[in-house]
Chain A
Amino acid sequence: MNNLIKNSSKTQELTYELKIQDAMDKNYITVSSKTSVSSLREILRKKRILGVPVVDDGNLVGIVSIEDYIKSTEQGKLNETVETIMTKDVVTLFSDEPLINAIRYFEKYEFTRFPVICREDNKLIGIVSKIDTIKGILKKLETVYQDEEERRYRASHFFNDVIADGISIELKYLVEGKNFDKAGEASTRLKKSLNRLGLPPEVVRRVTISTYEAEINIVSYTEKGEITAYINSDRIRMLITDNGPGIEDIGKAMTPGYSNAPGWVRELGFGAGMGLPNIKKFSDEMNITSIVGEGTRLETFFFLNDNSDEDKKEEGK
């Protein structure tokens, strides 16, 4: 543990930030000073623990460890009570102390666990062991890491940071037909990437939802397809192509509720006849061309300039 602290400054920082109450075990077991040594043995054995605090009337009066127990058997004290074998000068920690104090105590004393006391009423409220300390730090690291990840994505404003008269980014995703286990993966990856580029969440949502519908169409009806996003500073253009059977009557396919989906697709909750209507609903502009026996080409646009975006949506209605 000492090395862990020395090598990692973030961990070190956390040991000051975390309180002992954040890491301590609140579901601890206690015995009373009147508990017999033989019952103590059973408790230690059954619960597989190395020591328990001794509590009388809610007050901590001692701590008894497996070492105390072993010593007592040597001295033939099996029929006596815990009181005669426990350590009475208990080293305790307050719940509001920083976790680093527990780590210092582990180094300073040779105990494996310390009772944790509430500063206000001096009552026992937990136990802290080395394992609890490590778990507490790991848990905190995990949340710190998640927050950091989120913050980093939000902080990136690619189009503000890169200086050029024109910027264009192309992101390509390949979609496998008939594989519903992977359906939605391209759209989900696209969503993450668009978020990382710092694009407005409202636009990202519309792009990924309409792309998801298109992706489901590729999976449902074709062998394979391609999704490409062309991102400029003022708009996102999505191009979705496949080499599937093509759409015979696009007008019909655009009618909400009309669907050609086979039974197995419907069973998965798709094929409601809302795919193309949804794509149109969530995009600012949509063009679709299809040749039966060759494939379908779908193009959608999403405008990024805040004002024109709203206007275009309004005009469409």
Chain B
Amino acid sequence: MKSLKDIAEKLNLEVISGNTEREVSGGYSSDLLSDVIANAQKDNIWITLQTHLNIVAVANLKELAGIILVNGRQPEESTLNKAKQENIPILLTELPTFEIIGKLYELGVKGNKRF
């Protein structure tokens, strides 16, 4: 288990909402919300390019550790407000999905299934 705060510091992620003092159980990446609902696990970090309000709802319902928005994308204002209100960490990176996941893997953040 890694702390979200640690990950944010090591990968230079900009934390714009939520409390990062929590543990990350693993990672999941998808831009399809239903896919995340089906396959992400509790305390996962979720990597996506979606910035709409509903990412907060999904993270909340699945009790995810946080959301990383890739490619320098900024969340919509309503998304950020909701994330603050629900205390869901949103983190920003300039890197594309492939690169940021590579770095997460190097840090020891793995997927949910053991192959």
Residues of A within 8 A of B (CB): 180-181, 183-185, 187-188, 191, 205, 208-209, 212-213, 216, 268-270, 272-275, 277-278, 281
Contact = CB atoms under 8 A, between A and B. Distances in A.
A178 to B, nearest CB: 14
Interface stretch (B10-18, B33-41, B106-114): B33-41
Is the contact region of chain A dominated by helix, strand, or loop, or is it mixed?
helix
A259 to B, nearest CB: 9
B38 A212 contact: no
A183 B54 contact: yes
A274 B39 CA distance: 11
The 7 closest A-B pairs by CB, nearest first: A184-B57, A274-B34, A272-B32, A269-B33, A269-B50, A272-B34, A268-B52
A268 B54 contact: yes
B53 A188 contact: no
Given A180-B52, A183-B57, A208-B61, A213 B37 contact: yes
20 contacts: A180-B53, A183-B54, A183-B57, A184-B58, A187-B57, A188-B60, A188-B86, A191-B60, A208-B61, A212-B57, A212-B58, A212-B61, A213-B37, A216-B34, A269-B54, A272-B35, A274-B34, A274-B37, A278-B34, A278-B38
Contact of B37 (A185, A209, A273): A209
A160 B57 CA distance: 30
Interface centre among B35, B48, B63 (most CB of A within 10 A): B35
A181 to B, nearest CB: 6
Contact of A277 (B38, B60, B61, B62): B38
B55 interface: yes
A184 B35 contact: no
A269 B50 CA distance: 7
Contacts of B50: 268-269
A183 B52 CA distance: 11
Interface in B26-72: 31-35, 37-38, 42, 48, 50, 52-55, 57-58, 60-63
A281 B63 CA distance: 18
B78 interface: yes
B61 A188 contact: yes
Nearest to B86: A188
A212 B57 CA distance: 9
Given A184-B53, A188-B86, 11 more contacts: A180-B53, A181-B78, A183-B53, A183-B57, A205-B42, A216-B54, A268-B50, A269-B32, A269-B48, A272-B35, A278-B38
B57 A274 contact: no
Interface centre among B34, B50, B61, B62 (most CB of A within 10 A): B34
Nearest to B87: A146
B75 to A, nearest CB: 13
Contacts of A212: 37, 57-58, 61
Contacts of A269: 31-33, 48, 50, 52, 54-55
A147 to B, nearest CB: 13
Contact of B54 (A180, A275, A281): A180
Contacts of B58: 184, 212
Contacts of B31: 269
B67 to A, nearest CB: 12
